[in-house]
Structure 1
Amino acid sequence: MTNVVITGASAGVGRAVARRFGTPGNNVTLIARNRKRLEDAAGEIRKAGGKALVMALDVADADAVETAAEEAEKAFGPIDIWINVAMVTVISPVGKMTAEEYRRVTEVTYLGTVNGTLSALKRFNRRGRGTIVQTGSALAYRAVPLQSAYCAAKAAIVGFTDSLRTELLHDKSDVKITVCHLPAVNTPQFDWARNKMPHRPRPVAPVFDPELIANGIHHAAFHPKREFWLGFSSVKAIMSEKMSPAAGDKYLARTGYSGQQTDEPEDPTRPDNLFETVEGDWAAEGRFGDEASESSAAIWTSEHGGSRLVGGATLATAAVVALGAFALTRGRRG
């Protein structure tokens, strides 16, 4: 029996992770703002043979997160795994952002992860065991235009987690912590994220199915290591940034705007989920299912101990990508 807490569990990657853990013998505490979608997720888990507890709250509220942890342990006993997935984002150039929007993205995406980690760590340190899984992003290492608040929040998660990891090592703790850095995923966020661009937002290709990513996060929870780079595009982005960040800057300056928008005009009156939840029957998948990949050799290899193989192959690929981007930018100046 495994007792799991998942934030952001009502939709997107969090919903897919909840489904993956919703098997006989597992007890899953679901945290998000939208109670209706949480109840739907709980129904899926119960139908699959697991048990579920719904806690409708905002992860930016540290006291509410702590209360959820208390209720989870009252219902199911000691928590074994805590998975932080909750996030919000704004698609906008920096010059059109407001301080309030930056604050909100930070409070949910970064501080929500901190709040969940603190509640988990309080219990894990006392018992000397437990696993924390952070949902990171390739954008933590290779920031893109139009998502400055989100990229900064994901980078903050890396810094926070790296610091905590060294403290756990210093204390010779058996508490485990791991980060799964995600590629672009077909989730509903592109239907409800605040968008200040003229066209509807989209994930940067290639796009992956949320159930595939959930499998990777599930594996990481039971086989934690420092980081998992899920999907070849994540590996390529991170390695390219390490090799030639300036070339990446120029490449994204050329492609980053168009790559995050469709040709469809945006509806300026549609609701967004930055401050309030958006009603609807969204689950794990978004509207890009036709192009979402359901398999990834890079994910399979990372799960089966082949990180060096992936890293070596990707290093060569990243070099080609970086050189190609550099050549393109040189050609434009010429």
Structure 2
Amino acid sequence: MSRVVAVTGASGGVGRACAREFARRGDRLALLARGTAGLDAAAEEARRAGVQVLTVPVDVADARAVEEAVARVEDELGPVDVWVNSAFTSVFAPFDQITPEEYQRATEVTYLGYVHCTMSVLRRMKERDRGVVVQVGSALAYRGVPLQTVYCGARHAVQGFHESLRCELLHDRSGVRVTMVQMPALNTPQFTWVLSKLPQKAQPVPPIYQPEVAARAVAFAADHPRRREYWVGASTVATLVANAVAPGLLDRYLARTGYSSQQTGEPRDPDQPANLWEPADGPDGRDFGAHGAFGDRARARSWQQVVAHHYPQVAGGLAVGAAGVAALASVLGGRGGRRRS
């Protein structure tokens, strides 16, 4: 029998690609997002794949609305087997150019949105002693970069929340599983609809991957949720290891390169949409789909994903090895007294 899979942020980007991937697998889908144009288009794609679909317009920053949305999903589709948290928003700007209201709003969506959704669905899953929650994360959950203090702060918060919750579920010997997928740079619409105050157009830092790579990783994590997290893309692994071994050196490298590498060199359109307060694909907007404007540079495959899918022992060894490097760096840093930055 098909599962009930709920995906937030399903109107575009990674969430949209996840909706397509789970539809391809024959799962019944609950698609949640603010933008109705994108939701309607995502639902039509899923229905063409022959699956049952429910669209639920909701702002995940609103805890009460989330509770109502989860109740509706379970009333109309049945108990949720897999919940994927993917909805987010952000601000591209130096920290001192972001207002407190913008910072609060982006954090409420990108961090508290995950908390609200997990809190609501977890209560129901624990009663049944089954279910999986997949948190869509980022390499920036471990490594902050300039011009993205909002996003990096929220991703770090999700990572800490995820680790604590996983420990609690293990303590309770619960049948519910939580896992996290750490993403690399992706070719999604976020670079054209996230609020930007940069002088030039924002761009992902290569290597860039297509959102289908992310969607396959999320679906795999939903099928194999016992692992704490999954890393997607060579850049993600390299970033995590570099941050563990030489964080101060990485700080200086990003200080020199992080501004230019996240901008295309072309002037930003001052009238480009911004989805911080309202969805860019609302009633007067358009469907942005899963892909962004960097398809000519985006990779359709990730070798880490192939290894994780077909050689899980090797993938686990890579993860343990990276963790060992981090632990060794921590020990050496402690022996040397105060570490130089």
- TM-score normalised by length of structure 2: 0.90
Q: Distance in 1 between matches of 2:175 and 2:144?
A: 33
Percent same amino acid at aligned positions? Answer: 47
Report the alpha carbon displacement of residue 270 of structure 1 after superposing the two structures with TM.
2.4
Report the alpha carbon displacement of residue 309 of structure 1 after superposing the two structures with TM.
4.7
Q: Match of 1:4? A: 5
How big is each residue's C-alpha offset from its partner over 1:49-69, in whole Å with a ceiling of 9 and x where there is no partner?
111100011110111111111
Q: Match of 2:338? A: none
Correspondence for 1:266 among 257, 261, 268:
268
Secondary structure of the residue that 1:31 maps to in structure 2? Answer: strand
Q: Distance in 2 between matches of 1:247 and 1:233?
A: 17
Which moved further from structure 2: 296-305 or 239-248?
296-305
CA 1:114 to 1:317, structure 2 compared with 1: closer, same or farther past 3 Å? Answer: closer
The answer to whether the 8 Å contact 1:179/1:227 transfers is yes
Q: Distance in 2 between matches of 1:203 and 1:43?
A: 29
CA 1:261 to 1:24, structure 2 compared with 1: closer, same or farther past 3 Å? Answer: closer
1:296 aligns with 2:302: yes
CA 1:316 to 1:99, structure 2 compared with 1: closer, same or farther past 3 Å? Answer: same
Q: Distance in 2 between matches of 1:95 and 1:230?
A: 32
Q: Distance in 1 between matches of 2:298 and 2:195?
A: 22
Q: Which runs of 5+ in 1 are unaligned?
A: 319-334
CA 1:146 to 1:24, structure 2 compared with 1: closer, same or farther past 3 Å? Answer: closer
How big is each residue's C-alpha offset from its partner over 1:128-157, in whole Å with a ceiling of 9 and x where there is no partner?
010000011100101100000100000000
Code of the residue aligned with 1:44 in structure 2: it is: E
Q: Match of 1:307? A: 315
Q: Distance in 1 between matches of 2:190 and 2:320?
A: 33
The answer to whether the 8 Å contact 1:135/1:180 transfers is yes
CA 1:313 to 1:209, structure 2 compared with 1: closer, same or farther past 3 Å? Answer: farther
Q: Match of 1:329? A: none
Report the alpha carbon displacement of residue 313 of structure 1 after superposing the two structures with TM.
8.2
Q: Match of 2:249? A: 247
Correspondence for 2:290 among 262, 284, 287:
284
Code of the residue aligned with 2:305 in structure 1: it is: I
The answer to whether the 8 Å contact 1:301/1:310 transfers is no
CA 1:316 to 1:124, structure 2 compared with 1: closer, same or farther past 3 Å? Answer: closer
Secondary structure of the residue that 1:159 maps to in structure 2? Answer: helix
Q: Distance in 1 between matches of 2:14 and 2:99?
A: 27
Q: Match of 2:221? A: 220
Q: Distance in 1 between matches of 2:152 and 2:30?
A: 28
Alignment of 1:56-71 (within 5 A): 56-71=57-72
Task: Provide the aligned C-alpha RMSD in A.
Answer: 1.7
Q: 4+ residue runs of structure 1 moved beyond 4 angstroms?
A: 311-318
Q: Distance in 2 between matches of 1:308 and 1:74?
A: 38
For these two proteins, the number of residue pairs brought into alignment is 318
Q: Which runs of 5+ in 2 are unaligned?
A: 327-341
Which moved further from structure 2: 60-69 or 105-114?
60-69
1:154 aligns with 2:155: yes
Q: Match of 1:331? A: none
The answer to whether the 8 Å contact 2:90/2:195 transfers is yes
The answer to whether the 8 Å contact 1:186/1:208 transfers is yes
Q: Distance in 2 between matches of 1:81 and 1:2?
A: 8
Secondary structure of the residue that 1:87 maps to in structure 2? Answer: coil
